[in-house]
Amino acid sequence: MLGVNPTKKLGQNFVIDGNTVRRIVRSAEVAAGDTVVEVGPGLGSLTLGLLETGAGVVAVEIDDRLAEQLPLTVELMQPGAPLTVIRADALRITELPGAPTRLVANLPYNVSVPVLLHLLEHFDSIRAGVVMVQAEVGERLAAPPGSKVYGSPSVKAAWYGAFRTVGKVSRQVFWPVPNVDSILVGFHRRDQPLESEELRLATFALVDAAFQQRRKMLRQSLSVVLGGSTSASAVITAAGVDPTARGEQLTVDDFLAIARAWPSE
C-alpha cells in the first residue's frame, strides 16, 4: 500500500472503512465553506470524506512519505479540491492558513491529548470538531466532576469548551488493527474564553498538582504550588472552595477561582 509501513513511533493506525469516514464527517457537521484542520491524515480516507462536503482541508502530517503522497491521492480522486498539506509536527505549529473553523482528525494515540490541547490553545478560530482517540482517553476528556475517570485532561478540555463522547469505533476499521478500543469525541468551544493566558497557566498548574496526588485533600495536594498547607488552605478558602475536597470533585471554574485567589508574586 504505497510502500507505507505504519509505525508505532508515530502512532499510525489508518482508517480504511468508508462508513466510518462518513460517520465522522457527519458527526462533525462539516459543511461547504468550512476550513477543517486534520492532523495525521495518513492515507487520506478521512481527507477525501471531508473534501466531499465542499469544505477546505488543511492537513498536518509529520510523515514525509504520507505528506508527499496525499496531494497526489486527492488530485486523482477529487481534482482541484481545496487541500493544503503542512509537513510538520502538530505539537509545534502555531500558524495555519485559512483560519480553520473545525478540527476533525484520527489523532495519533500516543500524543492525542497534547495535540488537542495545543491546537485549542493556539487556534481560537477552531470552534468545534470531532476527534477519534483511544477509548479510555476520550472518556476522560468528556468526564464530569466526580466521575472515576475525571482527571487533568477533563479539566483542561473543559477550559476550552464542552466535550462529549459520540460513539465507539470498531478496531476492524483500522490498518493495522490496534490493540485498543477507539471512541469519537465531539466538542464545541466556549463563546468567550474563560480568562487570560496568565490565569490559564496558573489554573493548569493547580490542576496538575491536584491530580498528581488525587487521593489527597486540596490543602495537601496544592501545598506544593501554593506555598505550604497553611497558605494553601487560606487561598482555597478565599476562593470559596472546601480545602478538604479533592481535585476530582472540582469543576474548571473551581480551579479558576483558586487561581484568581492565588496571590501574585
Q: One fold for both 14-189 and 197-261?
A: no
Domain 197-261 fold = Helicase, Ruva Protein; domain 3 (1.10.8)
Strands 35-39 and 56-61: parallel
- Which residue would you say has higher pLDDT here, 215 or 245? 245
Closest CA to 90 of 13, 158, 38, 161: 38
Residue 150: which pLDDT band, with cuts at 50, 70 and 90? Answer: very high
Whether 141 shows a pLDDT value over 50: the answer reads yes
CB-based burial label for 225 (10 Å; 0-12, 13-18, 19+) = middle
Rounded to whole angstroms, the Cα distance separating 113 from 109 reads 8
Rounded to whole angstroms, the Cα distance separating 106 from 126 reads 16
Rounded to whole angstroms, the Cα distance separating 207 from 188 reads 22
CB-based burial label for 125 (10 Å; 0-12, 13-18, 19+) = middle
CB 86 within 8 A of CB 93: yes
CA quadruple 215, 219, 225, 228: dihedral positive or negative? negative
Domain boundaries, the chain: 14-189, 197-261
To the question of pTM greater than 0.85 for the whole model, the response is yes
Q: What top-level class would CATH report for the domain 14-189?
A: alpha beta
CB-based burial label for 192 (10 Å; 0-12, 13-18, 19+) = exposed
Give the tens place of pLDDT for each residue, 176-211. 656 688 999 999 999 998 889 999 999 999 999 999
